Amino acid sequence: MIKAIFTKQRIAVLLVALATASAIAALAASTGTATSTDGRSLDGSFCSHAVIGSPFPAGLCIQLTSEGQTTQGYYHSPGLLTLRPGNYWLTVTDNSPVHNFSLTAPDGLDMDITTTPEGSSSSPVVRTVKVHLDHGPYRLICDNDGHAAAGMYVDIEVGGVGQVG
């Protein structure tokens, strides 16, 4: 009789522990909380950069930060960031109604993260998406009105010899 009660108590404790773990996992998934085991973080934003000789006003600049390294892309000076393959949480801060963020790749990837009228300096849009980056080239761009063609992008080179997620 004592053994049966002890087993029922263990089962009850196990069920409570499983329910608690499930609730925590559901909360993390619903709030978009990322942990280091889910992937590394990338942060994109707009920057202000004046270039002598540029036909564009200061501000036609996009930047990307990963693990303390920040790269900027602007008129005739595209940025380059080298990353390992794997999962990333890409968070962009869009504080401009005339710019947007898109992630592109030669394999046909064209992911709009924000759209042109969404952001403003008084009410920035912050959006986070989870992306899996395989070996190869990617590009974070502003594709509004030819901004990317003018240099408003950061190239992302994923991989390298011997690199794995």
Residue with tokens 């280091």: 36
Amino acid 107: pLDDT:
92
> Using 50, 70 and 90 to split pLDDT, how confident is the model at 47?
confident
What residue type is assigned to position 111 of the chain? M
pLDDT of residue 38: 84
Q: Which CATH superfamily is domain 40-158 in?
A: Cupredoxins -  blue copper proteins (2.60.40.420)
Res. 123: pLDDT tops 90: no
Q: How many CB atoms lie within 10 A of CB 79?
A: 20
Minimum mean pLDDT among 6-15, 103-112, 118-127, 143-152: which range?
6-15
Tell me what pLDDT residue 6 has. Answer: 54
Better pLDDT: 113 or 28: 113
pLDDT at 32 over 70: no
* C-alpha–C-alpha distance, residues 69 and 154, integer Å: 13
Domain boundaries, the chain: 1-33, 40-158
- How many angstroms separate the CA atoms of 41 and 34, rounded? 9
What pLDDT score does 76 carry?
A: 75
Residue 34 predicted with pLDDT over 50? no
Residue 147 contacts residue 154 (beta carbons within 8 Å): no
Span 25-45, mean pLDDT?
62
**Pairing, β 125-133 against β 110-114:** unpaired
- pLDDT tens digits for 62-120? 999 998 899 998 877 778 999 999 999 999 999 888 889 999 999 999 999 998 888 77
CB 138 within 8 A of CB 156: yes
Greater confidence, 49 or 158?
Answer: 158
What burial class does residue 41 get, using C-beta atoms within 10 Å of its C-beta: 0-12 exposed, 13-18 middle, 19+ buried?
Answer: middle
DSSP per-residue letters across 37-53: TT-EEEEEEEE----TT
Q: Which of 131, 125, 101 is nearest to 113 (CA)?
A: 101
